[in-house]
Structure formats: structure tokens, C-alpha cells
């Protein structure tokens, strides 16, 4: 079998997850990498044996012979790169969130459709074992009809203050709300109809980052389910895990509880603190990425090869973003907002 030829746009932290994963797939060759920051792209190229290095994605698309592109630019910078990749007839794997404005969402959907390329958004919690097990139990009818849900996905402060240089251009809603909204919508198997959200700020602004601290949101689904969703960026840096991720789904005949952040499977204690290290997203086994962060990327490549549907459709990812826009509007206006699909 000929190897699939990959390119990556965005050589930051998540870009490296893509580079390492793709590099570990024997039937993929990463032929090109592009970042506005040439040094960063060059270092990644050297580490993962990538021959072509670019600082302009349009030049890369003109010159490089790749089958697909992983788009790993910051949250608010996915649209133009996506549209240019589709116009170059490349299949695309886009990091979450799909896009952060209504105009971008519709322009990207139109470009994907017009150019007949395949596209997936990396909403990788669908590959997380607790969530995929919950989905199977729900589909098997084990907890009856789903009536309500609760999902809490928070990050500690350091993600907004230290890890992301662009956190003030995004928000916890785009960065993590995109994940939690996708995960819970997948479990309750419906589309959000109406939202009511309350936001608070102040803690991060005091730390010099001009973004909202938290959103508490009530979601009403088209199938009647009610969900409470909490997204915050201010859990303490001393928390045992960077993320704080809990979920509950209540059905007419049962209930599912998920806690992927505070587990009892492994704790590592030093003189300074105790950590429950991540064992689901990016564990390294046999010196390879073995968790759901890489399994979603592997799945994208496998579905390109076998032609079967992606586990996340681009329409679902776009609909989630339209619901997130309604949440932002609701928090701004202080009243319930219907999602405009
Ligand atoms: N799936 C996940 O769980 C997960 C985890 C972390 C980040 N992400 C997502 O991945 C994306 C990137 O996040 P990150 O943490 O890697 O950010 P980052 O800031 O570490 O890296 C982004 C890189 O994109 C580059 N860039 C920006 N515009 C560009 C352009 N037009 N052409 C080429 N390069 C460009 C920047 O120079 C930077 O090096 C975001 O959308 C983020 O939400 C997803």
C-alpha cells in the first residue's frame, strides 16, 4: 500500500501531538510542516523527520504533494487555513473548535461541500474509553430513555495564564466547552435547542488575562433532555490533574457517572504535591502515544483509507459551535437564547 502523505499547519503543543501520532503510524509519511514561526516548524521537522518546512500555508499547499492536512492553529484561526486547504482539494483534520464565528462556520462548511473533500474535527472525547463505554451502554438501552445530564470540564489557571499565548483571543467555552458540549450531545443523542448561560469574570483578569473565568449553562435539547454544563478556567494549579472532568447521565431506568480526572488508578506524590497523572489521553506505552488523543488522529487516517464515515461529522461539530455562539450570546444578554442553525 502506498503511504498516505500528511502535512501539518501549526507546530505548537497540539501540533506536536499530531506530528508524533502521525509519525508513529507506519502507513503515513509526514511530508510537510508549516508554522508562522520558522524556528518552531524547523524544530518539529527535525524531530519527526519532516523534509519540507514552510511559514506560509498557501505556499505549502502549492508546492507540497500531500493527501491530507492537519490544521492545528489557535481556536480563532482555523477558518482561512481550512478554506485554503479545501480549495487545494486536501482532506482535512481540524482541531476543535471547528470555528468561533457564525460567518466562519458557514464559509468553512460551504468550502468543504463545494470542494468535495473529507473533513473531521478532532473532538477526541468520543474515543475516550469512559465516554465510548457510556455511549454503548446508552445505545444498548441499559439506562432507558435519557432525561438529563451534567457535565463539568474545567482547566486549572495555568492553561490560561501560562500554556496558551492566545487565551485572551479565545475562552474556556471555545477551548473546553467545545469538548464538553460535543461529549454530552453525543451521549444524549440530540441537538441543543435553547441555552441559558451565566458567566463570571475577574480572577483571570486580575492575573493579566482578559477572558471570562467561568460559564454555567443550562442546555435544552430537541429531544427534551436537560443538561447542566460547567466550564471554568480557574481551578487551582495545585489540583491533582490539570483538567477537572465529570459527567452524569440520567435515564428513565438508570444512570451513568464518569470522572476522568480524579481517578484511583495511579497517584504520584513528591515532596511538593500529589498528582493523578493522565492515563487516558496521552499515556506513552512502548514509547508510543497510546491514548484517545492519538486514537482520534489514527481513526481519521483509517477512515480516509477505508472510506467509512468519521466518528465525528463536520455538521455535528459545526452545530456544537453554533450552540456555543448561542451560549456566549445568552451570557452577554442575561436571557435564554434559541440556537440559530
Ligand atoms: N484536542 C485537544 O484536546 C486539544 C488540546 C490542545 C489544543 N487543542 C487545539 O489545537 C489548536 C492549537 O492549540 P495549541 O495548544 O497547539 O496552540 P499553540 O499556540 O501551542 O500552537 C499554535 C501554532 O499555530 C501557529 N499558527 C498560527 N496561525 C498560523 C498560520 N496561519 N499558519 C501556520 N501556523 C500558524 C502558531 O505560530 C503556533 O505555533 C487549538 O485550536 C486548540 O484548541 C486541542
Q: Residue by residue, what is the 3-state secondary structure of 275-322?
A: ECCCCCCCCEECCEECCHHHHHHHHHHHHHHHCCCCCCCHHHHHHHHH
**Residue 251 Cβ contacting ligand 1 at under 6 Å:** no
pLDDT of 119-171, one tens digit each?
Answer: 999 999 999 999 999 999 999 999 999 999 999 999 999 999 999 999 998 89
Q: Is residue 287 part of a domain?
A: no
pLDDT score for 198: 98
228 and 207 fall within a common domain: yes
**Residue 35 Cβ contacting ligand 1 at under 6 Å:** yes
332 and 220 fall within a common domain: yes
Distance 37 CA to ligand 1 centre (A): 12
For residue 256, the enclosing domain spans 128-278+313-338
**Residue 10 Cβ contacting ligand 1 at under 6 Å:** yes
Q: Is residue 318 part of a domain?
A: yes
**Residue 34 Cβ contacting ligand 1 at under 6 Å:** yes
**Residue 77 Cβ contacting ligand 1 at under 6 Å:** yes
Q: Is residue 298 part of a domain?
A: no
Q: Is residue 220 part of a domain?
A: yes
Closest ligand 1 atom, CA of 80? 31
Ligand 1 test: best mutation among 15, 54, 73, most atoms within 8 Å of CB? Answer: 73
**Residue 130 Cβ contacting ligand 1 at under 6 Å:** no
pLDDT of 161-220, one tens digit each?
Answer: 999 999 998 899 999 999 999 999 999 999 999 999 999 999 999 999 999 999 999 999
pLDDT higher than threshold 90 for residue 264: no
Distance 176 CA to ligand 1 centre (A): 14
33: which 3 cell numbers? 510542516
174 and 323 fall within a common domain: yes
- Non-local CB neighbours of 70 within 8 Å, separated by 6+ positions: 6, 7, 8, 9, 10, 15, 18, 22, 92, 93, 95, 297
Distance CA 59, CA 32 (A): 11
**Which residue, 72, 94, 117, sits at the end of a domain?**
117
Q: Which residue's C-alpha comes closest to atom 21 of ligand 1?
A: 12
DSSP 8-state symbol, 177: I
Distance CA 74, CA 166 (A): 7
pLDDT score for 282: 95
pLDDT score for 213: 97
pLDDT score for 275: 86
**Which residue, 117, 141, 163, sits at the end of a domain?**
117
pLDDT of 271-319, one tens digit each?
Answer: 988 888 899 999 999 999 999 999 999 999 999 999 999 999 999 999 9
Q: How far is CA 335 from CA 24, 172, 174, in A?
A: 48, 20, 20
pLDDT score for 38: 97
Q: Which residue's C-alpha comes closest to atom 38 of ligand 1?
A: 12
pLDDT higher than threshold 80 for residue 1: no
193 and 144 fall within a common domain: yes
Assign residue 193 the CATH number of its domain: 3.30.360.10
Q: How many domains does the chain have?
A: 2
Closest ligand 1 atom, CA of 55? 33
pLDDT of 56-88, one tens digit each?
Answer: 999 999 999 999 999 999 999 999 999 999 999
pLDDT of 21-57, one tens digit each?
Answer: 999 999 999 999 999 999 999 999 999 999 999 999 9
Amino acid at each position: 500500500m502506498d503511504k498516505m502523505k500528511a502535512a501539518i499547519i501549526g507546530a505548537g503543543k497540539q501540533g506536536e501531538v499530531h506530528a508524533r501520532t502521525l509519525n508513529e503510524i507506519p502507513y503515513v509519511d509526514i511530508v510537510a510542516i508549516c508554522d508562522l514561526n520558522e524556528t518552531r516548524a524547523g524544530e518539529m521537522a527535525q524531530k519527526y523527520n519532516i523534509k519540507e518546512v514552510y511559514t506560509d500555508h498557501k505556499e505549502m499547499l502549492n508546492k507540497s504533494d500531500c493527501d491530507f492536512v492537519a490544521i492545528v492553529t489557535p481556536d480563532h484561526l482555523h477558518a482561512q487555513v481550512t478554506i485554503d486547504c479545501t480549495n487545494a482539494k486536501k482532506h482535512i483534520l481540524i482541531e476543535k473548535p471547528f470555528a468561533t464565528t457564525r460567518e466562519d462556520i458557514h464559509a468553512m462548511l460551504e468550502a468543504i461541500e463545494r470542494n468535495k473533500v473529507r473533513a473531521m474535527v478532532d473532538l477526541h472525547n468520543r474515543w475516550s474509553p469512559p465516554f465510548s463505554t457510556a455511549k454503548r451502554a446508552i445505545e444498548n438501552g441499559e439506562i432507558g430513555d435519557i432525561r438529563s445530564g451534567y457535565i463539568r470540564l474545567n482547566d486549572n489557571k495555568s492553561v490560561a495564564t501560562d500554556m496558551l499565548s492566545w487565551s485572551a483571543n479565545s475562552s474556556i467555552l471555545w477551548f473546553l466547552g467545545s469538548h464538553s458540549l460535543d461529549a454530552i450531545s453525543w451521549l444524549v443523542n440530540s441537538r441543543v435547542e435553547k441555552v441559558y448561560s451565566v458567566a463570571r469574570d475577574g480572577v483571570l483578569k486580575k492575573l493579566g488575562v482578559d477572558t471570562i473565568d467561568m460559564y454555567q449553562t443550562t442546555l435544552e435539547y430537541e429531544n427534551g433532555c436537560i443538561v447542566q454544563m460547567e466550564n471554568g478556567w480557574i481551578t487551582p494549579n495545585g489540583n491533582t490533574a490539570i483538567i477537572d472532568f465529570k459527567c452524569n447521565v440520567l435515564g428513565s431506568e438508570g444512570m451513568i457517572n464518569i470522572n476522568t480526572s480524579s481517578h484511583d488508578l495511579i497517584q504520584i506524590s513528591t515532596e511538593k504535591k500529589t498528582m493523578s497523572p493522565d492515563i487516558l489521553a496521552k499515556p506513552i506505552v512502548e514509547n508510543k502515544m497510546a491514548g484517545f488523543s492519538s486514537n482520534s488522529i489514527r481513526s481519521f487516517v483509517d477512515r480516509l483509507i477505508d472510506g467509512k464515515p468519521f466518528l465525528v461529522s463536520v455538521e455535528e461539530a459545526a452545530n456544537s459551535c453554533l450552540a456555543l455562539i448561542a451560549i456566549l450570546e445568552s451570557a452577554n444578554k442575561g436571557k435564554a437564547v434559541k440556537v440559530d442553525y
